[in-house]
Amino acid sequence: MKDDSFKLNLSITSVAGPDAKDFLHRMTTQNINGLELGSCAGGALLQANGTIISYFIIYHIKEKEYWLIGEKTFSKATYEALEKFHFAEDLEIKDISDQSNEKSLEIWKQHTKASFNFQFGVDITEKNMILEAPLNDFVARNKGCYPGQEVVERVFTYGNLGKKLVGLKGADTRKIKAGAAVFVSDENVGVITSVENEMAFAILRRPHYEEGQMVKVENIQLIVFKLPGTFEIARELKK
């Protein structure tokens, strides 16, 4: 994301009114009740099956107003998902992306810089569960119900996460192309989603997404590494 193009690349959805806090607490993966005025935290909107609608940084900008700052591609999805469940609550939901400024860009970059800038729609899509993405800080455990919460907690309980986004490194990583299959011996265990400088992003199936695993792409040996923000599933760690 280039600093001089924030108005094109950022989406901002405002949720304002006396019921804004309770509404967002029920709708998002974050503990809004604990978000102090002027503070920020990552959050997401999920489908009932735990897949991603959108993710964003929640900025408590005024006493009764919150900004959801995310990539421009999330603008419509975020607004429509919130309005779908907006009934009698005393609040207003508005797309104010045209008010994006250096402050909103700074907030977005500060809270996403550790993720190696994976791309939604490329590395992670709306078909992925949030637990498959490196968005650990975007989900508050034990905060109460929200759409998708039951599925998310079931994975933490039983450890049945089938795939994850990981990073791959090797001497010839630059030669790899997005879409290439990833192998362990003769078994196809995943796919390259994108390549950036000396690393590649890949969606790998269990157990091959574990850090330190060796994989091969077009006869190029690569090592798996865990992306910052990757969810740790306790039952997986015991295996």
Q: Which two tokens stand for residue 92?
A: 């207003």
Mean pLDDT of 167-187: 94
Q: Give residue 2's pLDDT.
A: 37
pLDDT band at 115 (very low <50, low <70, confident <90, very high): low
Q: Give residue 116's pLDDT.
A: 58
Structural domains in the chain plus CATH codes: 3-156 (3.30.1360.120), 162-237 (2.40.30.110)
Radius of gyration of the chain (CA): 19
Asked whether residue 238 carries a pLDDT value surpassing 80, the answer given is: no
* % of the chain beyond a pLDDT of 90: 74
For residue range 54-102, what is the model confidence (pLDDT) as tens digits?
Answer: 999 999 999 999 999 998 889 999 999 999 999 999 999 999 998 888 8
The most confident of the ranges 94-98, 119-123, 213-217 is 213-217
Residue among 106, 32, 33, 36 nearest 69 (CA): 106
Determine the 3-state secondary structure of 55 from DSSP. Answer: strand
Q: Which two tokens stand for residue 149?
A: 């919460």
Q: Give residue 114's pLDDT.
A: 62
- Mean pLDDT, rounded, of the chain: 91
